[in-house]
Structure 1
Amino acid sequence: MARVAVEIVTSFVLNQDHKIAYRIYRHPDATTDRRLLLIHGAGVAGRFTWEAMQHFLTSWSEILVPDLRGAGETHHQLGEEIPFTVHQLVEDVEALTQQLDWSSFDLGGYSLGGLVSMLYKERNREKVEKQFLLESAILDRTEWQETVQIREQYAQAAVHLHGDDAATGIKAFLDTISPNRRVSPAVEKLTIDRLGERAKGFAHSLEAVTAAIRELDREKLLAAQGDVTSFIGGLSVEPMHHLHQSLADRMPNWHYFLVPGTDHSLPYQKPRQIARMMDDELQRYLSA
């Protein structure tokens, strides 16, 4: 049964000339007093990404959902769309958790938010306990060069997002990241409309990951992670499943789950099912 948060706090913190928006959902009837930070993907606000899912999560008493730069209610103080790096996104999350005095919590990230969460873990290992990833950026192909090539396609989509034909860029992005998606025209339109609300911010998010890929050491980043549960959409491309299965085979801390009937939009498509699996995975982690 879906739960209604007893209290929802909406506010901002200031970091590097940006007002970072966030929401905290409080559930005093949770089965533990643990806290969970959830980081959204490129282009769509945290609320739209996680609000449905948080209704079904039963294990966390507080759930913190920020808006990253380029999305939602987070803006530069001058109201402009300013390019940023993934490291600046991590610094924003660090500033937020420090101001809220969140010194120990579980952490989840979707797409771009998955990469941000892994970088945060690498820099703040003592703060992060259980981890969840939903189709994290840079973890889509076994061969690193293939991952780099895919990101170059996203960079081409970003060119359209900076111009007057954002819809073309968004469609190119969706065709690359979810080539096997099965959605109605109405859902496709809603997706394009949401991603187009801050088209330049979306473009900056894609460009930030493309820039990061040119400097990141993926193996080093993976080695810095703790107990990870990774969800991959059943309709997502086979090479992504191969990568996560291989990670689960060689890393005892990596737990891979296929979510049937979903593609890259899995947090929107199966929030109840993923929430149940997250609750179950937390119990496995706590009982280990």
Structure 2
Amino acid sequence: MEKHQINCRTASCQQHALLLQYPSLREASAPRRLLLLHGAGVPGEVTWTYVANYLHEWDEVLIPDFAGMGRSRFLTDSAPRLSDYVLQIRELCEALDWAEFDIAGYSFGGMVAVRYLQQYGSRGLCFLLEPAMLFSADCGKIRQKADDYLTVADRVEHNPQDTEAYFTFLDSVSPQRTRNDKVDRLTIARLQENAQGFAQALRAVSQMLMDECATYAGWIAPWAGISFVGGLSHATMQGRHRLLAEQSADWQCHVVANADHSLVFTKPRTIAKVMNERRQQG
């Protein structure tokens, strides 16, 4: 595998991404490509490195940093909305001449991935790993989740060193996780490195959950793909993912055993195996 650091300036953003190129034995006129979008706060390479090590069905994998989270940044200081992050990814793909690719999004990145495909269309598979909008089919619970995220965002912006705010976030997304003080503090330290970007991403998610509550409660995937949910994650979320698979034409739900919201970090081999197998199916 070859690794290439990408740094470029687009209309709205100073962009940073990692491009992975894998040796291919396939005979193809165009490379098979995959875009990996990370969650709120933790940069792309940190989030996806372990999963990427086990992928073998793609020739190129692109892992960008969302603005404010890693080495990318918006060129204006206005509070970003979800549409700004979608535009950032669109500009990067256009700059790199990426037109056809599969897309995977984790947590916040899953919400961005879905909105990207809604705006620009799908020419490949979609993989969603506990995306931020698939918490429940109940609008009341979705709005409560939006309030929880907004509260955390306010506390982090007011005092980035307030560790209790980050613990509140972890308790919200992984209420049934196996408690490990060392792991929790490592996660919090990573989030604190990009505290402002983390808070901005949570605020953007909260806004979208409030504005599009009914849409997300009944959303059906119009594309082919898979959603992943942790076996230790909230039963409401597991039910929403199963419902999505039942109601969508070409969608699967994969429950990752003994995993919570941190599944992309703790179960990379399992996730990559399922993604590889789905890509092999075509």
Range class of TM-score, shorter chain? over 0.9
For 1:25 and 1:177, how far apart are their aligned partners in 2?
30
Gapped regions of structure 1 (runs ≥ 5): none
The residue number in structure 1 matching 2:187 is 191
Q: Deviation string for 1:61-118 (max 9, x for gaps)?
A: 100000012201112458x6x5211101000110011111111000000001001000
Match among 241, 244, 248 for residue 244 of structure 1: 241
**Is residue 2:142 matched to residue 1:144?**
no
Q: Deviation string for 1:23-51 (max 9, x for gaps)?
A: 10000236574100000000000001101
For 1:195 and 1:120, how far apart are their aligned partners in 2?
24
Runs (4+) of structure 1 exceeding 4 A deviation are none
The residue number in structure 1 matching 2:270 is 273
Q: Give the drift of 1:219.
A: 5.3
1:69-218 to 2 correspondences below 5 Å? 69-77=67-75, 82-126=78-122, 128-164=123-159, 165-216=161-212, 218=215
The residue number in structure 2 matching 1:44 is 42
Q: Give the drift of 1:125.
A: 1.1
Q: Give the drift of 1:247.
A: 1.4
**Is residue 2:16 matched to residue 1:8?**
no
For 1:166 and 1:83, how far apart are their aligned partners in 2?
21
Identical-residue share of aligned pairs (%): 32
For 1:106 and 1:39, how far apart are their aligned partners in 2?
11
Task: Identify if the C-alpha distance between structure 1 residues 190 and 50 changes in structure 2 by more than 3 Å, giving closer, same or farther.
Answer: same
SS state of the match for residue 236, structure 1? Answer: coil
For 1:39 and 1:280, how far apart are their aligned partners in 2?
20
User: Which is further off, 243-252 or 115-124?
Assistant: 243-252
Q: Give the drift of 1:16.
A: 4.3
Task: Identify if the C-alpha distance between structure 1 residues 30 and 260 changes in structure 2 by more than 3 Å, giving closer, same or farther.
Answer: farther
CA contact (8 A) 1:121 1:224 kept: no
Task: Identify if the C-alpha distance between structure 1 residues 119 and 221 changes in structure 2 by more than 3 Å, giving closer, same or farther.
Answer: farther
Q: Deviation string for 1:231-254 (max 9, x for gaps)?
A: 001100000011111111121222
For 1:255 and 1:224, how far apart are their aligned partners in 2?
10
CA contact (8 A) 1:50 1:267 kept: yes
Q: Deviation string for 1:154-209 (max 9, x for gaps)?
A: 11111211123431211110011101111422111110100111111110000001
**Is residue 2:280 matched to residue 1:283?**
yes
TM-score by length of 2: 0.93
Q: Which amino acid aligns with 1:200?
A: Q
CA contact (8 A) 2:104 2:113 kept: yes
Q: Give the drift of 1:55.
A: 0.7
Gapped regions of structure 2 (runs ≥ 5): none
For 2:100 and 2:226, how far apart are their aligned partners in 1?
18
**Is residue 2:267 matched to residue 1:260?**
no
Q: Which amino acid aligns with 1:11?
A: I
TM-score by length of 1: 0.91
CA contact (8 A) 1:166 1:196 kept: no
For 1:65 and 1:36, how far apart are their aligned partners in 2?
9
Q: Give the drift of 1:215.
A: 2.1
Q: Which amino acid aligns with 1:174?
A: L
Q: Give the drift of 1:281.
A: 1.3
For 1:30 and 1:148, how far apart are their aligned partners in 2?
48
For 1:39 and 1:206, how far apart are their aligned partners in 2?
15
